[in-house]
Structure 1
Amino acid sequence: MEWEYLGILLAGLTSLTVYFFKIPVEFPAPSDSKEKREIRFDILRGFAMIGIVMIHIHSYFQFFHPNDNLVIQSTLFLSNLSRFSVPLFILTSAIFLKKKSRYWNSKLYHLILPYFAFSVLGYFIKYKDHSVYEFVYFFFFGKVFTPFYFVPLLLQFYLVFYFMNSIFLRESWKQWILFFSFFINFVSNLGFFDPYLPKDYHSISIFNYLFFFVLGLSIGTSKPTKTNPKPEPNFILFVYLLLVLVMIYVFSFSFQIDFKNHHLFYPIFIMIFVWNHLFGLSPKIKNTINYIGNNSLYIFLLHPFIIHFMHSIDPYTFGGPIVGYLFTLLLNVGIPILTSFIIQRGKILYQSRRYS
C-alpha cells in the first residue's frame, strides 16, 4: 500500500487547490485536426520510455555494488521517480486505438512478430538449456527479459478492446466504466486478486493497469480544449512536484522501498504536470523526446539485450557512479534510437531509388 500513499495525498491536495483557487488546468485531449497528431502524447511516451530504462539501470548498479548504500539509494530514488512510466505508456497506447478493418495487421507486423523474433534471439543468448515448452512459457508471459512482460500485457488490452470496444466507447457509460475500472485497479493494487490468479500471471495482470487503459480510451474520444501555446508556470503544481521529490527521497533513502509500477494517482499527476508545462521546454528537447516516444518499440526490444551484456562490465569502469550512470542511460536509449534512425533512413533511400 505504501506506493499509493504518495498518490492519494497528491490527488487530495491537488483537487482541493484547483477547486478553491480556480486554477486553470488543461487536461490532455487529442488534436482537433484529423491530420495532425498531438505530439505531447508522444513526448509523454518518450519520458515514460526513458523512465523504464532508469528503473532497470537501478538493478544493474545493484547487481555490482549492493553495499554501496549512497549510490544504490540514489539509483533507487531515480527508479522510484520513474514509476509513472508503465501506466503512462499503457494510457498513451490506448488514446489512438481504433478498431479498423485491418486491426490486427499493424499489431502483428509492428509488435507481435518483432517481439517473437527478439524473444527467440534473447532466449538462445540468455539461457543455456533450451526447450520448446520453456520458450513458449517465456514468450507468453514475457519472461525472456524482464522488460518483455509489457508486450503480453499490452496484447491483452488489445484483445479486450477488440471484443469490447462498443462498450468502452459508449458515451453514456463512460463515467461509470471509468469509475468501475478505477475500483478494480485499486483493489488489484491492494493485492485482493492475487490469491485467485495464477502466480505467473501477476506480472502481466491487466487488473493492475485497467484504469489507465480505460482512461486512455476516454481521452481518445474527448473533445480538444483550446490551448495556450505559452502557459504561465503554475506555482502550486511546482510546489506539489517538490513534494513528490521530497516524499520519494524519503521512501528511497530512509526506508529503501522499491515502488511498484502500478500506481494510480502518481502517473496522472505527472501526466497533467508535464502536459501543462511541455511548451516551456526548448524545441530541441521536445523534438528529441518526441522522437524517442515515436520509436519506443526499438528501446523496448533492444534495451534488454544491451543491459544484459552490460552485466559483464562494472558500471564504475565508465568513469565512476555518476558518469557510469549517465553513460549507461545514454547507451540503453541511444543505441536503439540510432538503430531506429538507420533503419528508417534505409527505408527512405530504398523507396527513393525504387521509384526514381
Structure 2
Amino acid sequence: MFKKDKCIMEWELLGISLAGLISFTLYFFKIPIEFPAPSDSKEKREIRFDILRGFAMIGIVMIHIHSYFQFFHPNDYLVIKSTLFLSNLSRFSVPLFILTSAVFLKKKSGYWTSKFKHLILPYFFFSVFGYFIKYNDHSVSEFVYFLLFGKVFTPFYFVPLLIQFYLLFYIMNSIFSHESWRYRILIISFFINLVSNLGIFDPYLPKDYHAISILNYLFFFVLGLSIGTSKPSTSSTKPERNYILNIFLLLVCTIVFIFSFSFQTDFKNHHLFYPIFMMIFVWNHLFCFSAKFKNAISYIGKQSLYIFLLHPFIIHFMHSFDAYTFGGPITGYLITLILNVGIPILASFIVQRGMILYQSRHYS
C-alpha cells in the first residue's frame, strides 16, 4: 500500500515539475498558447467546450473498460497492461468534466429547479433501477447510503461530487464572482487540491467521503469558474508552433507507459497537471480535426449525461460475457467502447425525438 501511495505522490510531484518546465519553455521561446474562454455570443453555444467534454466522456468509459478486461483476463498481462495504459491516459476526464461543468455556471432564477430536473431526478431514478438490478438484498437505509455516496454503480460517485460543487457555488457565489479575489482564490484552491491529492486530509475526513471529496477537484472547479468569466483570446496559436505541446505530450505518454507497464500503477482521477495539459493540448489542436470529427465529439459531449448514467448499466450487463467473444482483445475493446458510448447516444436520440414529436402533436 505504501509503495502504491508513494508512486501516486511521485507522479503528482513529477506532473508539477513538468508543468513548471513547460511554462518555462513557453515563456523562454515566446510561444503563445490560447487558453479556453467562452464565446462572447450568448446565442451561440461554444462547441469547443462540448468537444472537451466529449473527449472526457470517452475517457471515462475507457477507464471502466480496463476494469472489465481485468475481470475476465487478470493473467493476460500484455492486454491488461495495455488497457491500464489507455485508462491512465484517460485520467484527465473527471477533472475536465468538473471544469467544463463550472464554465457556464450562473446563479440565476431556477438554479436548483434546473439542477433537480436535469441531474438529481435522473440520477435518482437510475439509482433506484440500478440498485434493484445489481443487488439481491434490499433495504431503504442501504439505498439512501448508496444514493448519497454514489455507490449504486462506481461511476455514480460523480453526481454527489457535482452536487456539492453546485451547492458550494450557490453559497459562495459572491466570493467566486469577486473580480479582485479571483486569482487569489485560484491559487488557494490549487494548494488545497495539492494537499488533498497527497493524502494529507485523509485522516481527518470520514473514509466513505474520500471518493466524493470536493477537495480532490476544487482547483478544477474554481478554474472553470475563472474561465467562465474570462475574455476570449484575440490571438491564436499558429499550427507550426504547437510542436512544443506535441513534444511534451510524447514525454507524458512515455512516462505513463513506463508507470503502466513497469510498475502497473493505476493512477487517480484527481492529479493537477495532466488534465490541464490535456485541455490546453486539445484546445490548441482543434484546427487539426475535421468538421465531421469535431461535430461527432461535440455531440458526445452534449449527450454526456445519458452516457454517464446509462453506460454503467451496459458495462454491468457485459460482465455476463467475455469481451474476447467479439473477436479478440483489440476488436473486443473497440466494440466495447462503441457499445458503451453508442447505446446511450441512441437512447438519448430516441427520447429526444419522442419528446419533439409529442410536443408537436400536443401543441398542434
What TM-score range do you get, normalising by the shorter chain? Answer: over 0.9
Preserved CA contact (<8 Å) 1:10 1:269: no
In structure 2, list runs of 5 or more residues that go unmatched.
1-8
Per-residue Cα deviation, 1:18-54 (whole angstroms, up to 9, x for no partner): 1100001001001011111211111000000000000
* Equivalence for 1:30: 38
Closer/same/farther in 2, CA of residues 230 and 284 from structure 1, 3 Å limit:
farther
* Equivalence for 2:284: 276
Preserved CA contact (<8 Å) 2:15 2:272: yes
What is the rounded CA distance, in whole Å, between the counterparts of 2:329 and 2:13 in structure 1? Answer: 31
* Equivalence for 2:234: 226
Write the mapping of 1:321-332 to structure 2, written as runs, cut at 5 A. 321-332=329-340
What is the rounded CA distance, in whole Å, between the counterparts of 1:68 and 1:338 in structure 2? Answer: 33
Preserved CA contact (<8 Å) 2:32 2:236: no
For 1:63, give the aligned amino acid: F
For 1:282, give the aligned amino acid: S
SS in 2 for 1:128: coil
Write the mapping of 1:246-265 to structure 2, written as runs, cut at 5 A. 246-265=254-273
Write the mapping of 1:181-260 to structure 2, written as runs, cut at 5 A. 181-226=189-234, 228=236, 231-232=239-240, 234-260=242-268
What is the rounded CA distance, in whole Å, between the counterparts of 2:237 and 2:16 in structure 1? Answer: 30
What is the rounded CA distance, in whole Å, between the counterparts of 1:332 and 1:71 in structure 2? Answer: 19
State the percentage of identical aligned residues.
81
Preserved CA contact (<8 Å) 1:39 1:290: yes
Q: CA deviation at 1:229?
A: 9.3
Q: 2:349 aligns with which of 332, 341, 347?
A: 341
TM-score (normalizing by structure 1): 0.98
Preserved CA contact (<8 Å) 1:32 1:224: yes
Q: CA deviation at 1:353?
A: 2.5
What is the RMSD computed on CA atoms of the aligned residues? Answer: 1.2
Preserved CA contact (<8 Å) 2:62 2:337: yes
* Equivalence for 2:313: 305
Preserved CA contact (<8 Å) 1:229 1:279: no
What is the rounded CA distance, in whole Å, between the counterparts of 2:334 and 2:241 in structure 1? Answer: 29
What is the rounded CA distance, in whole Å, between the counterparts of 1:207 and 1:229 in structure 2? Answer: 33
Preserved CA contact (<8 Å) 1:53 1:332: yes
SS in 1 for 2:75: coil
* Equivalence for 1:134: 142
Q: CA deviation at 1:227?
A: 5.3
* Equivalence for 1:58: 66
For 1:122, give the aligned amino acid: G
Preserved CA contact (<8 Å) 1:233 1:277: no
Q: CA deviation at 1:354?
A: 2.8
2:108 aligned with 1:100: yes
Q: CA deviation at 1:6?
A: 4.2
Q: CA deviation at 1:230?
A: 7.3
In structure 1, list runs of 5 or more residues that go unmatched.
none
2:351 aligned with 1:351: no
Write the mapping of 1:108-119 to structure 2, written as runs, cut at 5 A. 108-119=116-127
What is the rounded CA distance, in whole Å, between the counterparts of 1:30 and 1:255 in structure 2? Answer: 40
Preserved CA contact (<8 Å) 1:123 1:135: yes
* Equivalence for 2:82: 74
Per-residue Cα deviation, 1:317-353 (whole angstroms, up to 9, x for no partner): 1110000000000000000011111111122222223
For 2:273, give the aligned amino acid: F
SS in 2 for 1:234: helix
What is the rounded CA distance, in whole Å, between the counterparts of 1:162 and 1:138 in structure 2? Answer: 25
For 1:166, give the aligned amino acid: S
For 1:97, give the aligned amino acid: L
TM-score (normalizing by structure 2): 0.96
Q: CA deviation at 1:215?
A: 0.4
What is the rounded CA distance, in whole Å, between the counterparts of 1:306 and 1:173 in structure 2? Answer: 44
Return 68-77 or 344-353, whichever deviates more: 344-353
* Equivalence for 1:162: 170
Q: CA deviation at 1:12?
A: 1.6
SS in 1 for 2:195: helix
